[in-house]
Amino acid sequence: MDKKEGTLHHLQKGIIILSIIILVVILLLGLVAEVDRFIRVIWGVEKGVIWQKQELSGYLKKEVESLIYYYSKDHIVYPVAATIDPKSGKILSEVNGEIIDITANLESIFNAEENTELKAIKYRINPNLYQEDLEKITKVIGTYKTIITGRKERRENIRIAAEFINNQIILAGDIFSFNEVVGPRTKKRGFKEAPEIINGELSLGVGGGICQVSSTLFNALKADRFQIIERHTHSRDISYVPDGKDATVAWEYLDFKFKNNFAKPIIIKVEIVGNQLIIKILGSSELN
């Protein structure tokens, strides 16, 4: 056999071996496919089972779990607690939340007979406050009023701050922060330049005068009934509350905070009648 014939012989032999390998691979793939089909028939979802408009025939447990998980992430409805409209004072009803129950849906899908159409099983998530809870908060458990004086800019600052804290709901165990509720005192947010006390001296500052709101609130709380978390007094006497009964605030470094020690929510009610700033603390009728 010459060199040319030998090369041809080796080439033919290689082709035969490659063909055999390809045939074996095809057979193995076919076997794997058959095994997979067998597994899906025995342990998979029954034929014709539809869940949320998606056919799941032959799906295995891990595949169904993954499907339900990603579906549930996109279909969570978060609960919304009942609240009070800051403008009208009207109680706004709660909204219940809901979430897909992965375990219940998994069982439902694998227990379903052939050609069954299923809908997602959900469970409700309750909000932490209901309309009926707020409707019970009518008892005045603390009140205080102060006289508003000074220039119109100061009066406007008091009005704005009063609006922010009016109708605030403090849940049982929660801490109220004056600065968090009222926010930054800036001209962009409507606050005006008015006299304020800084280091014992009167000077103009944006938001001057709102300490009257925090001080009136402090006195309405009746400190023996609430835990005062943070309070600061002015560096000089003020006229609208007795000495030592004030609560000065300054954005970012002086705050007035208190904790609702009661087992029920309370509501802060604020109104300005003529030159009077009146703050009431409302609690459940069950409170003494």
78-90 tens-digit pLDDT: 999 999 998 888 9
The structural domains of the chain, with segments of one domain joined by +, span 50-131, 136-284
Q: Is the pLDDT of residue 10 over 90?
A: no
Asked whether the predicted pLDDT for residue 221 surpasses 90, the reply is yes
Distance (Å, whole) CA 147 – CA 275:
6
**In the beta sheet, which residues pair with residue 230?**
257
Q: What is the DSSP string of 260-273?
A: --SSS-EEEEEEEE
Rounded to the nearest 10 degrees, the angle between the axes of helix 211-221 and helix 152-165 is: 50
Tokens representing 176 are 């109220």
Q: Is the pLDDT of residue 287 over 90?
A: no
Helix or strand (DSSP H, E) at 104: helix 102-111
Has residue 41 got a pLDDT over 90?
A: no
The whole-chain average pLDDT of the chain stands at: 86
115 closest CA partner among 56, 55, 47: 47
Q: Is the CB of residue 124 less than 8 Å from the CB of residue 97? A: yes
* 41/162: higher pLDDT: 162
Choose the weakest-confidence range: 154-158, 202-206, 221-225, 259-263. 221-225
Within the chain, strands assigned E span 50-51, 54-55, 83-84, 91-92, 97-100, 117-118, 122-125, 137-147, 168-170, 175-177, 193-198, 201-206, 227-230, 257-259, 266-273, 276-284
Q: Is the pLDDT of residue 177 over 80?
A: yes
What per-residue confidence (pLDDT) applies to 5? 53
Residue 218 reports pLDDT greater than 80: yes
